[in-house]
Amino acid sequence: MPAPTQFLSYIDSHADAFIQRLADAVAIPSISGDASHRKDVFAMADWLNSQLTQLGVTTQLVDLGRHTMDGEDLPLPPAILGRIGNDKEKKTVLIYGHFDVQPANKSDGWDTEPFKLMINKETGQLIGRGSSDDKGPILGWLNVLQYHHENKLPLPVNIVFCFEGMEESGSEGLDELVVRESKKGGFFDGVDCVCISDNYWLNTRTPALTYGLRGLSYYKVTVSGPGRDLHSGVFGRTVHEPMTDLINILSTLVSSQGDILIKGVDEMVPRADEEEKAIYAGLNYNISDIEEAAGASIALSDDKVSVLMGRMREPSLSIHGIEGAFSAAGAKTVIPAKVSGKFSIRLVPPQTPDAVDPLVIEHLNNAFAKLGSKNILSVENLHGGKPWMADHRHWNFEAAKKATKAVYGQDPDLTREGGSIPVTLTFAESLGVNVLLLPMGRGDDGAHSTNEKLDRSNFIEGSKLLGTYLYELAAISK
Ligand SMILES: C[C@H](N)C(=O)N[C@@H](Cc1c[nH]cn1)C(=O)O
Ligand SMILES: [Zn+2]
Ligand SMILES: [Zn+2]
């Protein structure tokens, strides 16, 4: 059942209003990882809830309790559960998305204010934090709802929504909710399949369907010693310096070629055979795709298969930052008293945080012991999630393939995503149904980076894709 042509033309003719709604969403700086913005994540939940109810969705805000972040006790933002349609003859799809975003400051190197959507009329880019990750895709679903609501038309399937405001900070509290509501009589009982639009095409040309995500284990390693920050002229070469110890430890984690140096971590993953390598070789991808998205010619290899495997089916270790270090302008001659290095490992099957964490902790303790330092080391695991893989031959994927062909006139790439969406595996396991990732944005959108953007055409055609997928879902046999 193709989507009605009126739906497609409605999306085109309302494009400017949809972009204005995206600007309204981007203007709320719903940064989950920054305690000072917690009220904005709540404001974003209210904004989204009000949009959903105006479009005919029955919603409830679920209190997820409290948590501690950076030593501060904070209320968790609510999850929004919604339902539209309850026709026993129709399939029921669960749609997940997140309304929180990564931090962003103009001073990070943005060309424009990150929370003011910049519409570049020449390039068609909609630039702003969350435009691609994940406010644009969430609003894509709202655009689909709006057509049906305004025209008093029933949706082709029943929809259950689950939106959260903590995805960028480990999805705290959500797993318990999903497990509880997936039980008989729960809010998600009766769901036939799940669709998540929260990742990106591999390149800038080819739409994609995604059947895998890497997991994540995020660590904070702290070295402390002096009772306060010290003058390097007075104390240099007289005391053990926390920053020196930390840099030494961090330098033992990963090679410049990307190999993880923690014994047993890379070794857990089986090598790809020739058949698997052929899948990567067949993808529409060039080294220039990653180099253009990264903004420099810095790929780890000239071999496309090796680069794709690095992103999709191998673990990676990235060092993200150092808290407590001197980082301002100028040349302060300080010895910081306490510094915390932050790094994470992206995990692939069969790795799990439970299997990898002990290896990481042992490695850090050994590396620190070798320094012979009198400082103190402590290690925390901030959050984690398991990797996920789905069967891409399932009817849920078939419906999305048909929708992609109808909207974009081409077959989608079948990809595994390098990023993580921790709740994906929880949906798959607790509901026992297929989960599809249906990305809206392109590989060069710069999610988590400066100048994050969503191309206007991806927002508009992507909204058509989400709606068309629902029609194909209704038509396909289970
Ligand atoms: C792929 C998704 N859009 C995303 O960006 N996920 C984040 C999840 C996360 C976990 N800790 C912090 N953020 C990611 O992959 O980094
Ligand atoms: Zn993200
Ligand atoms: Zn996201």
Give the percent of the chain with pLDDT over 90: 99
Task: Give pLDDT tens digits for 250-288.
Answer: 999 999 999 999 999 999 999 999 999 999 999 999 999
Catalytic residue among 40, 100, 241, 455: 100
Ligand 3: distance of its center to the CA of 165 in Å?
Answer: 10
Indicate whether residue 314 lines ligand 1 (CB < 6 A). Answer: no
Within the chain, all domains assigned CATH 3.30.70.360 are found at: 215-269+314-385
Indicate whether residue 384 lines ligand 1 (CB < 6 A). Answer: no
Q: What pLDDT, on the 0 to 100 scale, is given for residue 218?
A: 97
For residues 386-408, average pLDDT: 98
Amino acid at 464: K
Residue 168 annotated as part of some ligand binding site: yes
Both structure tokens of 377 = 């080391």
Ligand 3: distance of its center to the CA of 29 in Å?
Answer: 15
Long-range contacts of 66-70 (CB under 8 A, 24+ apart): 67/172, 67/173, 69/33, 69/35, 69/169, 70/35
Indicate whether residue 216 lines ligand 1 (CB < 6 A). Answer: yes
Host H or E run for residue 209: strand 208-213
Question: pTM of the full predicted structure?
Answer: 0.95
Host H or E run for residue 299: none
Q: In degrees to the nearest 10, what's the CA dihedral of 293, 299, 302, 308?
A: -70
Backbone angles phi, psi at 7, to 5 degrees: -65, -45
Task: Give pLDDT tens digits for 165-197.
Answer: 999 999 999 999 999 999 999 999 999 999 999
Cβ(249)–Cβ(363) under 8 Å?
A: no
Which of 218, 175, 208, 257 is closest to 347 using CA atoms? 218
Ligand 2: distance of its center to the CA of 448 in Å?
Answer: 6
ipTM metric: 0.98
* Confidence band, pLDDT 50/70/90 cuts, at residue 70: confident
Indicate whether residue 445 lines ligand 1 (CB < 6 A). Answer: no
Q: What pLDDT, on the 0 to 100 scale, is given for residue 278?
A: 95
Cβ(364)–Cβ(217) under 8 Å?
A: no
Indicate whether residue 455 lines ligand 1 (CB < 6 A). Answer: no
**Nearest ligand, CA of residue 104?**
2
Ligand 3: distance of its center to the CA of 449 in Å?
Answer: 12
Coil, strand or helix at 360: helix
Of the residues 210, 219, 345, 420, which should be mutated to test ligand 1's pocket, given the most ligand atoms within 8 Å of the CB?
A: 420
Indicate whether residue 198 lines ligand 1 (CB < 6 A). Answer: yes
Indicate whether residue 100 lines ligand 1 (CB < 6 A). Answer: no
Task: Give pLDDT tens digits for 408-422.
Answer: 999 999 999 999 999
Q: What pLDDT, on the 0 to 100 scale, is given for residue 2?
A: 81
Asked if pLDDT for residue 365 goes beyond 80, the answer is: yes
Residue 420 annotated as part of some ligand binding site: yes
Catalytic residue among 40, 167, 172, 445: 167
* Confidence band, pLDDT 50/70/90 cuts, at residue 198: very high
Indicate whether residue 420 lines ligand 1 (CB < 6 A). Answer: yes
* Position in ligand 1 atom list of the atom nearest CA 214: 15
Ligand 1: distance of its center to the CA of 102 in Å?
Answer: 9
Residue 149 annotated as part of some ligand binding site: no
Q: What pLDDT, on the 0 to 100 scale, is given for residue 87?
A: 98
Angle at 252 between CA 247 and CA 253, to 5 degrees: 105
**Cα 401 to Cα 455: distance, rounded to the nearest angstrom:** 21
Residue 346 annotated as part of some ligand binding site: yes
**Cα 470 to Cα 202: distance, rounded to the nearest angstrom:** 23
Per-residue b/e over 333-348, b at no fewer than 16 CB within 10 Å?
eebbbbbbbbbbbbbb
For residues 435-445, average pLDDT: 98
Task: Give pLDDT tens digits for 116-151.
Answer: 999 999 999 999 999 999 999 999 999 999 999 999
For residues 383-396, average pLDDT: 96
Both structure tokens of 121 = 């009329």
Residue 477 annotated as part of some ligand binding site: no
Within the chain, all domains assigned CATH 3.40.630.10 are found at: 5-214+388-475
* Domain 215-269+314-385, CATH: 3.30.70.360
Both structure tokens of 469 = 């997928």
Is the four-CA dihedral 230, 234, 238, 244 of positive or negative sign? positive
Residue 113 annotated as part of some ligand binding site: no
Q: Which CATH class is domain 5-214+388-475?
A: alpha beta
Residue 362 annotated as catalytic = no
Residue 100 annotated as catalytic = yes
Mean of all residue pLDDT scores within the chain = 97
